């Protein structure tokens, strides 16, 4: 099969297309013929240094996939060959989604939303599960609460805006002015232009902050949280500020989640969640996809077409 691997740690140019042996599904695993693979910032980070990942001898890359079940391993009863699935297998261990085939535990996948093509479905798993787990499982968001989403037009952010809105929250997002119209279409009640306005001067009494930026954003966000508020940081534990009186802070790392994928698919089918795909490129242009993504200007997601 064709696969894109990391030849050595470095820039996008180290991504190399190779001929690799097609994997075989093990116990409770499925083999998926990949139609499309999503591209995420964590892909860039692991390509640069191998951060977070237990690398194999030939480092593969990527996690988000949408495709068709090709074969099932012993013990699998939830899928049959021909079923369309989407998922994020093995994260944060190596998965190798930039390839024609990928294997993973059956319940690291879920049925693909029927209303989406494979490109849109491949854009969802990692970003949507990050948003879902941060808001629902970690922050335990309640209807009527006020949510502030930083980088609200990004891959995670634009999905977090919609998930929070679907859960009955009042949603405020930070983004450049050019992206405000899109965010309002997605359900944001207020949008703050971070380039011209300090968000801590433009809003207050926030119940939940989702920080997808890091740096000083976490510390600054403490100033807008009301007593009992929750700050969920996504870039890493180093970006989590010290607890402040009356508020909770923490870092969450996304994990495979069958139930979460089902919930996300249900929101899609109900018309309450749509994924914005910024750029679509073929597998052999994975390096270009990384170049575009690392510029930090993407609205929504980048996706590689495979099959």
Taking only the tens place, the pLDDT of each residue in 179-194 is 999 999 999 999 999 9
Neighbour-count burial of 271, counting CB atoms closer than 10 A to its CB (0-12 exposed, 13-18 middle, 19+ buried): exposed
Q: Per-residue pLDDT tens for 204-250? A: 999 999 999 999 999 999 999 999 999 999 988 888 887 777 888 88
Q: What is the pLDDT of residues 112-121, one digit of tens each?
A: 999 999 999 9
Q: Residue 58 pLDDT > 60, yes or no?
A: no
Dihedral of the alpha carbons of 116, 307, 284, 264, in degrees to the nearest 10: 30
By the 8 A CB rule, do 169 and 144 touch? Answer: yes
Domains located in the chain, CATH noted: 2-124+275-305 (3.90.180.10), 126-251 (3.40.50.720)
Backbone dihedral angles phi then psi of residue 280, each to the nearest 5 degrees: -125, 125
- Number of other residues whose CB lies within 10 A of the CB of residue 216: 10
Mean predicted lDDT score pLDDT of the chain: 94
Q: What is the CA radius of gyration of the chain?
A: 19
């Amino acid at each position: 099969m064709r696969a894109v691997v990391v030849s050595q740690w470095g820039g996008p140019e180290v991504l190399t297309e190779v001929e690799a042996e097609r994997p075989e599904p093990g116990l409770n695993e499925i083999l998926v013929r990949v139609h499309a693979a999503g591209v995420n910032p964590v892909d860039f980070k692991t390509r640069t240094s191998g951060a977070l990942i237990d690398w194999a001898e030939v480092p593969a890359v990527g996690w988000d996939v949408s495709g068709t079940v090709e074969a099932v391993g012993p013990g699998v009863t939830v899928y049959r060959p021909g079923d369309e699935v989407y998922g994020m297998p093995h994260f944060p261990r190596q998965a190798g989604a930039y390839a024609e085939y990928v294997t993973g535990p059956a319940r690291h996948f879920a049925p693909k939303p029927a209303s989406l093509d494979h490109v849109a479905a491949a854009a969802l798993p990692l970003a949507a599960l990050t948003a879902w787990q941060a808001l629902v499982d970690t922050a335990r968001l309640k209807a009527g609460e006020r949510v502030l989403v930083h980088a609200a037009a990004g891959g995670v952010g634009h999905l977090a805006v919609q998930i929070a809105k679907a859960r009955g929250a009042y949603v405020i997002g930070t983004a450049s002015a050019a992206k405000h119209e899109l965010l309002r279409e997605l359900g944001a009640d207020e949008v703050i232009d971070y380039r011209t306005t300090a968000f801590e001067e433009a809003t207050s009494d926030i119940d939940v902050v989702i920080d997808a930026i890091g740096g000083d954003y976490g510390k600054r966000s403490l100033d807008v949280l009301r007593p009992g508020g929750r700050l969920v940081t996504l870039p890493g534990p180093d970006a989590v500020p010290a607890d402040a009186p009356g508020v909770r802070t923490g870092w969450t790392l996304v994990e495979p989640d069958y139930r979460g994928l089902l919930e996300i698919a249900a929101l899609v089918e109900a018309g309450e969640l749509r994924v914005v795909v910024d750029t679509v490129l073929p597998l052999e242009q994975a390096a270009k996809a990384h170049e575009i993504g690392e510029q930090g200007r993407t609205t929504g997601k980048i996706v590689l077409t495979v099959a």
